[in-house]
Amino acid sequence: MMKAVPSLEKIAVLLSRCGYIQNDLGKAVYTCGPAGTLLRHNIHHTWWDKMVNRSEASFPVSGENISLLKDFYMPTLRLMNHSVPFSLTHISQSSPVQPVQGHEHIAALLNLHSETRMELVHFCSQTAVNQTFDVVVNSRISWWKQYSCNYANFTQKTEGEGGLQEVHLQYTSPWGPVTIETVKNRGQDEVSRLAEEIGQDCKVKNGKKMAIPYMIESVTSLELATALFLIDAFTERSSVNDNTVTRQVLQLHPALAPYKVCMCQDGSLTRQIQEVVTYVSRELRKAGLHVLDTRRDSGDVDAQIHRNDEFGVPFTVTVNNNTIKTGNIQLRNRDTSIQVPRWTSCLGSSSMICELCSSRLI
């Protein structure tokens, strides 16, 4: 049975214990631990995959203290033969961090020293701007919902009248709505000013005519996304065996979870079990799955599984004495708590690996 999300302090204790965050020399600032660093990488990867790899005519750029419009608009426009649509994406470090609109509680989980700004600037024709703006908004909010376990908590708030609208994508946290991303229709003025400044033709093809394009901007931050997904994933469940016992779980989306699988061992045949654990772990890593290596943990199996749930590990593989006799291991799903036997051997482990790889892990 799920319970309401508790205080931020309780969440921070769990995240610190599991290596997502760590206190910065006793100050009221947190930095990323190993699990937090992996989570940030996975969020960055999914954002990049959505905004660059799976988007048509999306051009990533890099550099410090740059302007997407002034530095990259004209070269990209020439590359596109003065046609739209096309997009420029940029990930950069900025300091100081912008205040979190909605509630100050979220800022406690951010690294306040700097912010990783993830930005998209999309150029389109005047005739397509309204439809394109709606597409960008829907695409961005669908990305947040896709990797959340509480997708109903996402809403949008529209500001501005007429064509130059601004939409704040918001998440309803335990402390109220928090703005997680802003999508703006920046109009034509900035491109017009650029044309006057550089004295070049900045127009794009619009049917049989040439016209100044419209700019649509989408901005969020990696730190904010990391904090939000951690808060969103935190749940408390009653133990299956004892309703009076509450267990904490990070129900992170499998694609975001820092560790995809953890090996759990139990039994007296220690040497043989270790050999199976080593083999299966090696095969999982070959398949591109990040394995939480706790092979020397020979404690109570239930305690090992509880620890894995706290870490947010989607799958736990248990190797025991029965594995040595029959070749079967136990594969447990974090979200359903169901454990099912799976055959594993030097010839048969590939089926389990294929099953894991197809479970939205990567």
Give me the domains of the chain, ranges plus CATH numbers.
8-231 (3.30.930.10), 259-357 (3.40.50.800)
Quickly state the pLDDT bin for 242 (edges 50, 70, 90). Answer: low
pLDDT of residue 215: 97
pLDDT of residue 208: 82
Looking at 16-20, 134-138, 326-330, which range is the least confident one?
A: 326-330
In Å, what is the CA distance from 186 to each residue of 27, 126, 345?
39, 12, 59
Q: What pairing do the DSSP bridges indicate for beta strands 246-250 and 234-238?
A: antiparallel
Measured CA to CA, the distance from residue 202 to residue 193 in angstroms comes to: 10
Q: How many residues make up the chain in this entry? A: 362
For 183-194, what is the mean pLDDT?
A: 96
pLDDT of residue 174: 83
Question: Radius of gyration of the chain from Cα atoms?
Answer: 24
For 284-309, what is the mean pLDDT?
A: 83
Mean pLDDT score across all residues of the chain: 86
Q: CB–CB of 221/118 below 8 Å?
A: yes
**Which long-range contacts (C-beta less than 8 Å, at least 24 apart) are formed by 143-150?**
143/46, 143/47, 143/50, 144/169, 144/171, 144/180, 144/181, 146/253, 147/43, 147/46, 147/229, 147/253, 147/255, 147/256, 148/229, 148/232, 148/253, 149/232, 149/233, 149/235, 149/251, 149/252, 149/253, 150/232
Task: Please give the distance of CA 148 from its chain centroid, rounded to a whole number.
Answer: 9
pLDDT of residue 3: 45
- Among residues 328, 321, 326, the alpha carbon closest in space to that of 280 is found at 328
pLDDT of residue 65: 85
Q: CB–CB of 328/348 below 8 Å?
A: no
pTM of the model: 0.90
pLDDT of residue 346: 43
For 112-126, what is the mean pLDDT?
A: 88
Using the predicted structure, report yes or no on whether residue 163 has a pLDDT greater than 60. Answer: yes
pLDDT of residue 112: 57
Quickly state the pLDDT bin for 104 (edges 50, 70, 90). Answer: low
Non-local (6+) Cβ contacts of 93 within 8 A are: 64, 114, 115, 116, 117
What is the percentage of the chain residues whose pLDDT exceeds 90? 52
